[in-house]
Amino acid sequence: MSLNAIKKKGEKQDMAFMTVSVSRKLTENERETLLKGLGEVQCKLPGKDAKSLAVIINEDVPMYVSGVKQDNMVYSNIKYTGKFKYQIRSDFTVALFDTIGNALGTPKERMLLEIDELQFFGGFGDLYDIYYS
């Protein structure tokens, strides 16, 4: 899919950017299932849709807890413009953990999530500002 299919010239896109780091190598099927699920989970956030999600998946990333290397762990970070109420963030977190668990078989106790709510977000040659757009 081209960038033009995601954002038309002059159109404001309410983007989200997600990074998912996994402590092991994924199969192609796991990667595709995860990507599809991440798009669906993003729809839990008001104003976001599956086509506006940009994702980086880092595989085989060394992860440690209390100095011990972890074999099946996932760290995720999502950045988006806006500020949502606790319940929306909580529902998103539960849905994300379910999606990762279903796609990768990782137990929820082995997942971490960082949510960054931003005022500004630049992408596709434009700047989005929640106060001035």
Per-residue pLDDT tens for 44-67? 888 888 877 899 999 999 999 999
Instruction: Please tell me the distance from the alpha carbon of residue 29 to that of residue 123, in angstroms, as a whole number.
Output: 29
pLDDT at 133: 58
How many CB atoms sit inside 10 A of residue 34's CB?
21
Question: 42 by DSSP, 3-state: which?
Answer: helix
Residue 73 has pLDDT above 80, yes or no: yes
Give residue limits of the domains in the chain.
13-129
The tokens of 18 are what?
């997600």
Superfamily per CATH, domain 13-129: Macrophage Migration Inhibitory Factor (3.30.429.10)
Residue 41 has pLDDT above 50, yes or no: yes
Instruction: Please tell me the distance from the alpha carbon of residue 55 to that of residue 78, in angstroms, as a whole number.
Output: 9
Average pLDDT of the chain, as a whole number:
87
Entry pTM:
0.84
